[in-house]
Amino acid sequence: MKPVRIGTRESILAVIQSEMVGDYLEEKGIGYELVKMKTTGDKILNKTLDKIGGKGLFVKELDHALMEGRSDISVHSLKDMPMEVPEELPIIAFSDREDPRDALVLPEGASEIDFSKPIGSSSFRRRIQIEKLYPEARVESVRGNVQTRLRKLDEGQYGALVLAAAGLKRLGLEGRIYKYFEPEEILPAAGQGVLAVQGRTGEDYSWAEGYNDLKTEREVLAERAFVRWLDGGCSSPIAAFARCGEDELVIEGLYYDDPTGKWHRESISGSPEKPEELGIELAKIMKGRYE
């Protein structure tokens, strides 16, 4: 069998995550090689994502390579993928979930947040929740890869950063985490902590069945259905987090009403056999509160 060509962004984190899938392939006796590329989202760093087109800018080049046969699969952080995936480029497997929480990172040597400086976060979802937790805080955008953001923090441009714990852990930077935000404090993005393996229709991906984690799949299908039904993308602070047990799937959502600027959180539970229906049901309930 030919080596599997894995399409990936060039960032250190993206490469590490792609190599994690590659390690699984090698365990199955299948070789792999990385096809690295810089995406539009990686190139434009002076604007927030909602101003330049949203999450699709991180996958467009990888999608083209996959469609044109220059790669065999793509590996993404699921939270960075658009909610609408091309029918011809399906997600063929979800990894088991790394820590889904957001984390607070302080400048090296600091022991508390310096509120005279902004907290760095480019996520509207994080911003509204941070401002509720820390009314005295000013939240400003910070772009770039994790290493770039940490450098800006340590140079004194920010009093703190809020980043995904999963990325810090995969980079070996867990020691930089000052505090974890439990989902009760900051609801994570849909799919946070999960890797998505994307393929091309008509190809044999039977090896992916063993990589796919069913519990995670049910959780993220519910989360993404919730956000998708509400048409929530990178510019909208809509979030969802699901927990799947043997007999019950619990999903909590965050809904932001644009006309009023009001938002709230709510949860429901149901059968894990129908995760997408559950996510849509919660979305309808929450949106209905503002109609």
Domains and CATH numbers, the chain: 1-96+194-212 (3.40.190.10), 102-181 (3.40.190.10), 213-291 (3.30.160.40)
Number of H helices, E strands in the chain: 9, 13
Does position 56 have pLDDT exceeding 60, yes or no? Answer: no
d(CA 249, CA 273): 9
Q: How many CA atoms lie within 13 A of 197 on its CB side?
A: 28
| DSSP β-bridge partners for residue 254 | 239, 265
pLDDT of amino acid 148 = 95
Q: What are phi and psi of 34, to 5 degrees?
A: -95, 135
Q: Which has more pLDDT, 97 or 56?
A: 97
pLDDT of amino acid 42 = 52
> Could you tell me the pTM of the whole model?
0.91
> Which element (helix H / strand E) includes 243?
strand 239-244
d(CA 33, CA 214): 27
Residues with a catalytic annotation lie at 80
Q: What type of residue is 215?
A: K
Confidence category of residue 233, pLDDT binned at 50, 70, 90: low
Question: If we measure between CA atoms, which residue out of 223, 273, 225 comes closest to residue 251?
Answer: 223
Q: Report CA dihedral (178, 183, 189, 190) to the nearest 10 degrees.
A: 140
Radius of gyration of the chain (CA): 19
Confidence category of residue 196, pLDDT binned at 50, 70, 90: very high
**Mean pLDDT in the chain?**
92
- In this prediction, residues 27-56 reach a mean pLDDT of 68
Confidence category of residue 1, pLDDT binned at 50, 70, 90: confident
